[in-house]
């Protein structure tokens, strides 16, 4: 829920010289923009500038038609921007319990204590953590703390959401549940949403649009499919090479249309996302013997040199990317149109609920 209807988005050019950062961003209302990049790319610096806690050296920030920052003449303080922010280190107050942390922003805006606690408890319930209301931040797991920080951001009726690694430092089990909760609340939020991540799965599953930042510059932007199918830099290509599929899991198998994979996660059930890294895909001239449960014959569609590795795109029945050495290409005669056997170990296939 937001306090005011936001009809415009957030447009910014952010220049921070000491971080060698110069990027232009556009965050449309009702859309989630996933800001993706390696560590040190400048993602958190961008968020801090948008939130108003880091001054611009050059550039301009405009939200819903109003100038918030133009580096030299106009500056709207963070509290007046009315953005819901989750910083990477969360910034929960250890001396306050969970419900007081969530109510803090509301109290700072003048809401009475009882009303603020009531609204805070309502948001804790929505994020499935009301049972933690009386705990202190030091008593929370990583996933629990992130839900509390998200509840605090949403409870204040923000006009935009800025989330820095909201799924960071969470174990695999907690990450799946938190991603589901986050997806629900992002979809329901009508204002602009910025999600910072270094995880391609989070960017693909949560972002309507993806902006890739490297070395303080935007190197690519587009839909998740644009990024995956048409990478423009080595970093993006490495990310895009992680093949993602949607399927149905049951008793240690995942059905992907007419194709079936055996997976190590026998507990996975129902709708899932499957992730296979190209280095998990082994190629053979003859049918391999031994332990791999997933073995099939295919043809090579495309061969591309990538530095000291060679990337191959495989055809039906499952369009996978494999990555091998130049020596393997020569030994196995790997070329477009060549027939090969594919083997993927069940333990090399990541499965997550969707």
Residue 160 has pLDDT above 90, yes or no: yes
Q: Are residues 222 and 264 in the same domain?
A: no
Q: What is the pLDDT of residues 265-323, one digit of tens each?
A: 888 889 988 888 888 999 999 999 876 689 999 999 999 988 788 999 999 999 999 99
Residue 251 has pLDDT above 70, yes or no: yes
Q: Tell whether 279 is covered by a domain.
A: yes
Final residue of a structural domain among 240, 269, 302: 240
CATH number at residue 306: 2.40.50.100
Q: Tell whether 307 is covered by a domain.
A: yes
Q: Are residues 140 and 47 in the same domain?
A: yes
**Domain that residue 321 falls in:** 243-353
Q: Are residues 176 and 38 in the same domain?
A: yes
Mean pLDDT of 103-107: 92
Q: Are residues 222 and 309 in the same domain?
A: no
Q: Are residues 173 and 75 in the same domain?
A: yes
Q: What is the 3-state secondary structure (H, E, C) of the chain?
A: CCCCCCCCCEEEEEEEHHHCEEEEEEECCCCEEEEECCCCCCHHHHHHHHHCCCCCCEEEEEECCEEEECCCCCECCHHHHCEEEECCCCCCCCCCCHHHHHHHHHHHCCCCHHHHHHHHHHHHHHCCCHHHCCCCHHHCCHHHHHHHHHHHHHHCCCCEEEEECCCCCCCHHHHHHHHHHHHHHHHHCCCCEEEEECCHHHHHHHCCEEEEEECCEEEEEECHHHHHHCCCCHHHHHHHCCEEEEEEEECCEEEECCEEEECCCCCCCEEEEEEECHHHCEEECCCCCCCCCEEEEEEEEEEEEECCEEEEEECCCCCCEEEECHHHHHHHCCCCCCEEEEEECHHHEEEEEC
Mean pLDDT of 147-158: 92
Q: Are residues 112 and 199 in the same domain?
A: yes
Task: Answer whether 0.75 is exceeded by the pTM.
Answer: no
Number of domains the chain is built from: 2
Q: Are residues 173 and 249 in the same domain?
A: no
The pLDDT confidence band at residue 201, using thresholds 50, 70 and 90, is: confident
Q: Are residues 55 and 86 in the same domain?
A: yes
- With pLDDT > 70 as the criterion, what percentage of the chain qualifies? 96
Q: Are residues 224 and 309 in the same domain?
A: no
Q: Tell whether 3 is covered by a domain.
A: no
Mean pLDDT of 149-163: 93
Final residue of a structural domain among 240, 271, 306: 240
The pLDDT confidence band at residue 1, using thresholds 50, 70 and 90, is: very low
- Average pLDDT taken over every residue of the chain: 90
Q: Are residues 37 and 63 in the same domain?
A: yes
């Amino acid at each position: 829920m937001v306090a005011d209807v936001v009809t415009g988005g957030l447009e910014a050019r952010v220049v921070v010289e000491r971080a060698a950062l110069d990027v232009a961003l556009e965050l449309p209302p009702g859309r989630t923009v996933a800001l993706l990049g390696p560590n040190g790319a400048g993602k958190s610096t961008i968020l801090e500038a948008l939130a108003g806690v880091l001054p611009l050296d050059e550039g301009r920030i405009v939200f819903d038609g109003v100038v918030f920052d133009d580096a030299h003449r106009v500056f709207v303080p963070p509290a007046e921007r009315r953005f819901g922010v989750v910083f990477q280190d969360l910034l929960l107050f250890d001396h306050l319990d969970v419900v007081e942390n969530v109510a803090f922003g509301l109290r700072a805006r003048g809401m009475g204590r009882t009303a603020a606690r009531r609204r805070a408890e309502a948001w804790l319930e929505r994020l499935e953590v009301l049972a933690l209301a009386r705990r202190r931040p030091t008593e929370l797991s990583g996933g629990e703390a992130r839900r509390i920080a998200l509840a605090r951001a949403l409870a204040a009726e923000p006009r935009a959401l800025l989330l820095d690694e909201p799924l960071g430092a969470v174990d695999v089990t907690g990450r799946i549940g938190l991603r589901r909760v986050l997806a629900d609340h992002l979809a329901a939020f009508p204002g602009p949403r910025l999600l910072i991540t270094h995880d391609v799965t989070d960017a693909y599953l949560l972002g309507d649009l993806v902006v890739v930042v490297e070395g303080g510059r935007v190197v690519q932007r587009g839909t998740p499919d644009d990024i995956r199918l048409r990478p423009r830099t080595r970093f993006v290509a490495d990310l895009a090479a992680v093949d993602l599929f949607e399927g149905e899991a049951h008793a240690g198998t995942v059905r992907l249309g007419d194709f079936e994979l055996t997976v190590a996660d026998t507990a996975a059930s129902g709708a899932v996302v499957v992730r296979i890294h190209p280095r998990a895909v082994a190629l053979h001239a003859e049918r391999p013997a031994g332990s791999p449960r997933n073995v099939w014959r295919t043809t090579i569609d495309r061969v591309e040199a990538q530095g000291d590795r060679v990337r191959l795109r495989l055809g039906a029945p499952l369009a996978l990317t494999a990555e091998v050495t130049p020596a393997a290409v020569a030994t196995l005669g790997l070329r477009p149109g060549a027939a090969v056997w594919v083997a993927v170990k069940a333990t090399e296939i990541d499965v997550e609920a969707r």
